[in-house]
């Protein structure tokens, strides 16, 4: 199986020339950093992920994590030195508050690190993802004492973090949870209940695990209004920062899953575990959404990262595997399958979508940075755009993770279906991403219910207006003119669909919900096209000189997207505006 090669040049192209993240370093928030430093760090991170983490990926899948009768969980042996080296390197601390040992880098640089970590080994990467979410929740909602106690070692990774929402009877409907938090009288609470699907809820990598748990205090209001957040460490922490006695939380089992076998997905039982309130009583869901928003962008990134890893493997296989005689080849000569048109179509589809997803996810992260680094109306504008892009990044990119890793299996032919080649692992690992951190149906509902209506639709329409200029510029280049025409058409159809959803969704929410999933695909594809169009214009202006081949490849990748992928977006208009009648026309018995 080929090694993973970090796509550093592709990443730098998006950071420098599409996202144009240099403006961040002129702000007070990020003025202590510069673009050269970020690229130097990313190069070292890429080396580490390729040499240290990527070789553990197969072990994670084949060996996996195992639950022991004493409630402990054993991870693959190869995970342990990789984890220790990552903690020692301090990569997890790079984007966080310098007051607690972080580097204070922009979040978009952390996203680049996450991409390479996730491509190297998605199952391994999840402890870092959940810890980052917990850090973000503490940063926004924790007390000064909690921050001082937990953040320094969570930033290094010596301690990891988890997110405890789901219960056996309360999945997407978090408001149905029943875990209890009884006040002790000294400021602490006793937490009792069961939580499921807790990623790295138990493991043998870190010294301590800091659980953030949703539970109800006595007399709490029903539904989500009565939920509070508590910090419940695996080991209690003494005043001097040393670890004390084991808390009342235990792992009663781990799930046997389709993929990400190296990541222990735990069932945790809390029995009078000691915890402390994070934020205010009843603010648990608001606090937890801080973690979930962070995590949703990172989960969207997983679709990109696994597509990249699977693409690299498929490309290498297509060069090595000979089968049949390609058009133009000498008779009787067995050709590399990359010379066959359908294999090229699959490779170009992967390559073009990967470029587009990277533009989308990195733009989303940079808009989060800009919303924090600026003030007033400018900050609000960046935050609105970041909020709009979150369901697109999560929903579109994770759906594509399924589709593009499936194409990688297809390129391998029969050997793709055989576990020996390893490509099927990426397909299996990718399948969870459209499900967790809010299913993609929930992302679509969020898009039409909360994000599209922002300022009466103006956030969406302003972005579409900006892409009109991109389309006009593309049309001036004879090689990109059809892309420009297609983008103009897609923008207009998306405007029409957006207006229809706003108007008819206000009359009956099911009008919007029925078309929400195809609308997410439509809007996400058009957003990607606008960003890829910008990339194409940059590439067209630089397709001579030392990096002519690189820029030429970017231009062709963008051209393929604009001519062969983008036209699928306006074709979804019928589904977006169909309404709910046909969805509910059949009874459950008739469906059977």
Catalytic: which of 202, 437, 489, 547? 437
Q: Which of 541, 497, 488, 536 is nearest to 518 (CA)?
A: 497
Interstrand relation of 265-278 and 188-199 (parallel, antiparallel or unpaired): antiparallel
DSSP state at residue 431: T
pLDDT (mean) for 578-582 = 97
pLDDT at 375: 85
Looking at residues 379-402, what average pLDDT do you find? 97
Contact 328, 335 (CB under 8 A): no
170 pLDDT above the threshold of 80: no
Give per-residue pLDDT as tens, 297-315. Answer: 999 999 999 999 999 999 9
User: Span 145-155, mean pLDDT?
Assistant: 97
Whether 437 is catalytic: yes
Cα–Cα dist 362/463, whole Å: 16
Check residues 286 and 446 and name the one with the higher pLDDT: 446
Phi-psi region of 104 (alpha: psi -120 to 50; beta: other; left: phi over 0): left
Q: Is the pLDDT of residue 415 over 50?
A: yes
The answer, as to whether pTM is greater than 0.85, is yes
What pairing do the DSSP bridges indicate for beta strands 243-246 and 73-74? unpaired
> What pLDDT does 546 receive?
86
Output the average pLDDT for the chain. Answer: 96
Using CA atoms, how far apart are residues 261 and 256, in angstroms rounded to an integer?
8
**HSE on the CB side for 355, CA within 13 Å?**
32
| DSSP symbols for 392-413 | HHHHHHHHHHHHHHHHHHHHTG
What integer pLDDT is reported at residue 521 of this predicted model? 98
407, HSE (Cβ side, Cα atoms, 13 Å) = 24
**Which percentage of the chain shows pLDDT scores above 70?**
99
pLDDT level of residue 171 (50, 70, 90 thresholds)? low
- Predicted local confidence at residue 1, as pLDDT: 47
Tokens of 500: 């229809």
Positions of E strands within 339-438: none
Tell me: the pLDDT tens digits for 65-121? 999 999 999 999 999 999 999 999 999 999 999 999 999 999 999 999 999 999 999
pLDDT in the model for residue 3: 85
Q: What is the mean pLDDT of residues 259-282?
A: 97
User: pLDDT tens digits, residue range 442-497?
Assistant: 999 999 999 999 999 999 999 999 999 999 999 999 999 999 999 999 999 999 99
Positions of E strands within 216-325 = 228-233, 235-237, 243-246, 249-254, 265-278
pLDDT above 60 for 421: yes
The DSSP code for 336 is B
| Rounded average pLDDT over 500-507 | 97
pLDDT in tens, 426-436: 999 999 999 99
- pLDDT computed for residue 224 by the predictor: 85
- Side-chain-side CA neighbours of 495 within 13 Å: the count stands at 15
β partners of residue 216: 180
Q: What percent of the chain is modeled with pLDDT above 90?
A: 93
């Amino acid at each position: 199986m080929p090694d993973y090669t970090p796509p550093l040049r592709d990443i730098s192209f998006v950071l420098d020339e599409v996202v144009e993240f240099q403006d961040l370093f002129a702000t007070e928030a990020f003025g202590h950093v510069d673009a050269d430093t970020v690229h130097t760090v990313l190069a070292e991170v890429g080396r580490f992920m390729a040499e240290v983490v990527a070789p553990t990926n197969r072990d994670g899948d084949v060996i996996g994590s195992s639950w022991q009768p004493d409630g402990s969980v054993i991870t693959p042996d190869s995970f342990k030195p990789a984890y220790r080296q990552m903690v020692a390197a301090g990569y997890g601390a790079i984007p966080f508050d310098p007051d607690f040992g972080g580097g204070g880098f922009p979040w978009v640089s952390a996203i680049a690190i996450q991409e390479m970590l996730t491509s190297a080994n998605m199952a391994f990467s999840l402890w870092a993802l959940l810890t980052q979410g917990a850090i973000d929740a503490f940063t926004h909602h924790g007390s000064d004492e909690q921050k001082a106690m937990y953040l320094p070692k969570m930033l290094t990774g010596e301690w990891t973090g988890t997110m405890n929402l789901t219960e056996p009877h309360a999945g997407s409907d978090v408001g149905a949870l029943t875990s209890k938090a009884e006040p002790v009288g000294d400021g602490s609470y006793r937490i009792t209940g069961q939580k499921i699907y807790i990623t790295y809820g138990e493991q043998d990598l870190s010294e301590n695990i800091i659980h953030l748990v949703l539970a109800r205090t006595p007399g709490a209001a029903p539904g989500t209004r009565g939920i509070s957040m508590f910090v419940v460490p695996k080991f209690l922490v003494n005043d001097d920062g040393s670890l004390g006695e084991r808390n009342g939380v235990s792992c009663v089992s781990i799930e046997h899953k389709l993929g990400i076998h190296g990541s222990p997905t735990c069932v945790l039982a809390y029995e009078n575990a000691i915890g402390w309130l994070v934020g205010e009583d009843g603010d648990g869901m608001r606090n937890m959404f801080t973690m979930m928003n962070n995590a949703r962008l990172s989960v969207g990134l997983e679709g990109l990262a696994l597509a990249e890893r699977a693409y690299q493997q498929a490309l290498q296989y297509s060069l090595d595997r000979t089968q049949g005689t390609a058009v133009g080849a000498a008779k009787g000569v067995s050709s590399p399958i990359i010379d066959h048109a359908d294999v090229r179509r699959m490779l170009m589809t992967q390559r073009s979508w990967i470029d587009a997803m990277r533009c989308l996810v990195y733009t989303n992260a940079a808009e989060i940075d800009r919303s924090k680094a600026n003030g007033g109306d400018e900050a609000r504008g960046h935050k609105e755009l970041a909020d709009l892009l979150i369901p697109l990044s999560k929903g579109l990119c994770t759906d594509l993770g399924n589709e593009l890793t499936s194409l990688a299996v297809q390129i391998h032919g029969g050997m793709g279906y055989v576990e020996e080649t390893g490509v099927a692992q990426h397909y299996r690992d990718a399948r969870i991403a459209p499900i967790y951190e809010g299913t993609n149906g929930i992302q679509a509902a969020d898009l039409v219910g909360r994000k599209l209506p922002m300022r009466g639709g103006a956030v969406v329409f302003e972005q579409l207006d900006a892409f009109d200029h991109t389309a006009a510029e593309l049309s001036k280049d004879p090689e990109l003119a059809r892309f420009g025409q297609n983008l103009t058409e897609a923008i207009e159809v998306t405007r029409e669909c957006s207006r229809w959803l706003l108007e008819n969704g206000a009359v009956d929410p099911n009008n919007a919900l029925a078309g929400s999933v195809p609308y997410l695909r439509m809007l996400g594809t058009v957003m990607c096209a606008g960003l890829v169009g910008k990339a194409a214009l940059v590439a067209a202006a630089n397709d001579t000189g030392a990096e002519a081949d690189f820029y030429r490849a970017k231009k062709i990748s963008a051209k393929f997207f604009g001519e062969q992928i983008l036209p699928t977006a306006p074709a979804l208009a019928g589904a977006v505006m169909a309404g709910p009648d046909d969805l509910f026309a059949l009874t459950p018995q008739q469906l059977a």
